[in-house]
Structure 1
């Protein structure tokens, strides 16, 4: 469920007419709903109760500081994969003890900044990282709480580019060597083992891969405890999928996921951490764009929008589907005709949909890309020297720009001439 609904023939974000936002800030722009963010966070935390748990929002899904502050104020922790994301979470008011630092390529400088600012734990992904973190923490006279990310060799049966839990993927340490590497971690100075981390992929629409991975995690927990390690936390990663279409796509609900977690891991007396991003933010956002031209081609028609692949790269990068709907509700029974929906970037890949059945639309009409709140704005760029587009947050009948569109002068001013020119 989200809070982007037609009312009196107009698509609303909660109680705000999206056309009114377009008139105020121009197109294209991203718009997020606080009510949807709240609801999706609450679904997760309720689903895991009464287990001791912390829902850590995956900042890589949507890193706007206003979004992070809203979720942090609800009690969410943050899962970060760079020092930039760490600093965003801290700027949003999230305390270090609710921030988990993941990622395969943490630098020593990133480790130092996180240790100085406070951190819940580092999810360590390799033996070289383990050695580096020990050196940094010991050199500072600090203790770094750690969980080793263990690769369970489970195929998440998701898109090739977002599967992370197979032995051929770059993430984590092999489960077959976990006992050996945990023993090394326990012997190194400046480290404190607190748990196990596991994340097998994103946009999973079936609970079976999760259950297979978590069953291996439960067995590993018992084995490591028998070897003398204090395993107090289980970081389960994220990855639960969302419906990107309004058809029959129905990923598992957080309640079903929570019931499975409690059944598989509930007897271990561990605090559970989860790192959802897409499920919290995905359907909490839309991308609004305007039709520049309707072009009649040879054998097909095109809707050319003012949004492009630099604003929303998921269709070009993953072949991802987003429902695209007019801001003015079509009349019941309105005829549909197939069109290619494209952007103005000089790439054939700048195509959002091919032969998508759409109601009649003309230049000047506005459309919304649904389910654009995750991996939309965070993956955008200034390709073709197109300025980053605004982000807007709605709360009830109010809206505010939470990231402004830069001017061309501001964009150009970041470049400088060398002294010899």
Structure 2
């Protein structure tokens, strides 16, 4: 985000806090990833993760760029449909699919089954509609790091996976056509290589013939400001690095297959393509020192910027207020809530003053979608395009937004 973007929004909305979406930066990043992967495998397709940031303006932008929708709930599914997505461009994942599952199945949408009970539910529906043919996929549980045991999908070679595949085969109007996987906390190249290795072996074992699709989920590093990238270490892969390690083995595996019969290869990026392109703008309201601890309180909260601020110090840009400034070797930037843990930035070093405008970068992932209606409503969001035109894409929440659902 550059200073001109901030100035453009402040001319339209002269208060804080608010979110700022860099539309052109998002587009450029999206296309860079897409081009790097399609240069190796032409049937690669982005399926954007709605749970990461389901701002409708951004989801619709993905649609205009040719991306598909990856949803994990009825709410997200309904949004994709309202945006005009055809069923075959909506990938329905998740461990607890809602009442719209059967509608999506009936209309030819992509469904990746998470567990045996969900498979049984689909089979029961198919039995009642025996004249119709249905296609489904399965989520494969991965062990690529040993850091934790994922709770999602089917463990390869497990009794549950065997029982589920047999259940599907026993239904003449159900066809298993694809496999899906996703795992968190494993963004490195080696973990992704192992992911591909496991998935290719699984397709050979559980899919009859060439699959219609393989979905590798998400979890790649995206573009980051240098100050944040340094906190992850020096070996941050580029999109071309991922393409060489992840896309090429699949391209090689299916090189003997005619182009029209090769599987679609999905990844489901969220944070990877959106995180850097949303910033959160907030103002310092007061500064104080208690028992040697310096604290600056702002009108935003750690709840506005997402979990990442509890793990890393987000890059922050300071716009000076013109008031008397003081240099701090270490000062915590605290949020408006009554929670002791509401710290957006730990041990900031530099000059600050009351009235300074702080812009926290890289907050596009799991921030807006995770913000609770706690103490005060959420902030508005503005999009700035390459001509620096400003559009409000999420209005400020109101008292009625919070309380109209309660019975008085």
Task: Give the whole-Å Cα distance in 2 for the aligned partners of 1:402 and 1:151.
Answer: 37
Q: Which residue of 1 aligns with 2:329?
A: 337
The answer on whether the counterparts of 2:321 and 2:357 sit within 8 Å (CA) in structure 1 is: no
Q: Which residue of 2 aligns with 1:257?
A: 242
1:210 corresponds, among 192, 195, 199, to 192
State whether structure 2 residue 374 is matched by structure 1 residue 383. yes
The answer on whether the counterparts of 2:9 and 2:390 sit within 8 Å (CA) in structure 1 is: no
Q: Which residue of 1 aligns with 2:257?
A: none
Q: Per-residue deviation at 1:414?
A: 2.8
Task: Give the whole-Å Cα distance in 2 for the aligned partners of 1:27 and 1:191.
Answer: 53
Q: Which residue of 2 aligns with 1:8?
A: none
- Compared with structure 1, are the counterparts of its residues 156 and 383 closer, same or farther at alpha carbon in structure 2 (3 Å cutoff)? farther
The answer on whether the counterparts of 2:296 and 2:334 sit within 8 Å (CA) in structure 1 is: yes
Q: Which residue of 2 aligns with 1:145?
A: 135
What's the secondary structure of 1:42's corresponding residue? helix
Q: Which residue of 1 aligns with 2:205?
A: 223
The answer on whether the counterparts of 1:30 and 1:287 sit within 8 Å (CA) in structure 2 is: yes
Task: Give the whole-Å Cα distance in 2 for the aligned partners of 1:127 and 1:94.
Answer: 28
Consecutive aligned runs of 4 or more in structure 1 exceeding 6 Å deviation: none
Q: Per-residue deviation at 1:199?
A: 1.0
Please list the CA deviations of residues 198-219 of structure 1 after superposition, one character each: whole Å capped at 9, or x if unmatched.
Answer: 11215x4411011012111112
The answer on whether the counterparts of 2:320 and 2:353 sit within 8 Å (CA) in structure 1 is: no
State whether structure 2 residue 177 is matched by structure 1 residue 188. no
Matches within 5 A, 1:123-134: 123-134=112-123
What's the secondary structure of 2:352's corresponding residue? coil
State whether structure 2 residue 180 is matched by structure 1 residue 197. yes
What's the secondary structure of 2:157's corresponding residue? helix
Q: Per-residue deviation at 1:407?
A: 2.3
2:288 corresponds, among 282, 295, 307, to 295
Deviates most, 213-222 or 183-192: 183-192
Task: Give the whole-Å Cα distance in 2 for the aligned partners of 1:199 and 1:206.
Answer: 14
Aligned residues: 386
Q: TM-score, normalised by structure 2?
A: 0.87
Task: Give the whole-Å Cα distance in 2 for the aligned partners of 1:287 and 1:140.
Answer: 50
Task: Give the whole-Å Cα distance in 2 for the aligned partners of 1:410 and 1:235.
Answer: 37
Q: Which residue of 2 aligns with 1:136?
A: 125
- Compared with structure 1, are the counterparts of its residues 371 and 201 closer, same or farther at alpha carbon in structure 2 (3 Å cutoff)? same
Q: Per-residue deviation at 1:395?
A: 1.3
| RMSD after superposition | 2.5
- Compared with structure 1, are the counterparts of its residues 112 and 244 closer, same or farther at alpha carbon in structure 2 (3 Å cutoff)? farther
Please list the CA deviations of residues 353-378 of structure 1 after superposition, one character each: whole Å capped at 9, or x if unmatched.
Answer: 22121x32222221111001111111
